[in-house]
Structure 1
Amino acid sequence: MVNFKRLNKKIEQEGSNPNRTIHDLVREQLREEQELNDYHLDNISAPVKDDHEDITKSSPVHENIAYAEEKLTALMNENSRLVDTLVYDRAASLLETIEKLKCKAKLSWTEIIDPGSKASKSED
């Protein structure tokens, strides 16, 4: 790992140099240290391995995310089918209730107030 105390001393000794980046300073410090096996000195942010097979493999995390997305999609489709069924069942039960009551539409407000009026007798 980078020894930040040494890096800070190096920055203090050399002063500010606009031509040098922090990456250059870290690379120099890594070259001075003995443990160079873990670092790629040409570009610190580049992967240490150049194995294309490892790069193209999907990680277990991505596999878990893909599995979760599939399950979520299946559950959402099932839920939408259930909702459609419930809406249909409500409409069917409402229709059955109306048919059981055998309601006749009232044509005027007087039929509602006075069921024995002439208008209600003329319809029967």
Structure 2
Amino acid sequence: MPEYREPSCLRDVAAFHRLFKAPVVGSPAIPDAKRCALRVELLQEELNELKEAISQNDLVEVADALADIQYVLAGAVHEFGLGTRFADLFAEVQRSNMSKACATREEAEATVAHYAAKDQPARIEECDGQYLVYRTADNK
């Protein structure tokens, strides 16, 4: 697996926001409706660009769109006052997501049974000594 360098996006975008007098809020808060709408519009614009780049099979534009999404997302993190807490928030999401891997086949089979009881067929895949359960309908 390749080594990944951690981007400095939160720090870099904070510098950009300060320079251009855009909000860098120090504690968690919901911005006013106009700023919230702007944040959602900016993210949607970049998602639309990603969708278009994918449809054109244009890897350069895909890369550009992904970098833009990261940049706009970092701006939203700052505007919602989550910049100093975001590493912890992300770590918790990572912990939660990784906990979805089952340690034993029995645990995985119990998970499959749980989905089956909800009329959601699922399958088990073994990977690196852990058991991953995927719903058949959406492969999630």
Q: Mark yes or no: TM-score above 0.5.
A: no
Q: Which has the larger radius of gyration?
A: 1
- TM-score, L = length of structure 2: 0.20
**Structure with higher strand content:** 2
TM score, norm. by length of structure 1: 0.21
Q: Which has the higher contact order (CA 8 A, sep 6+)?
A: 2
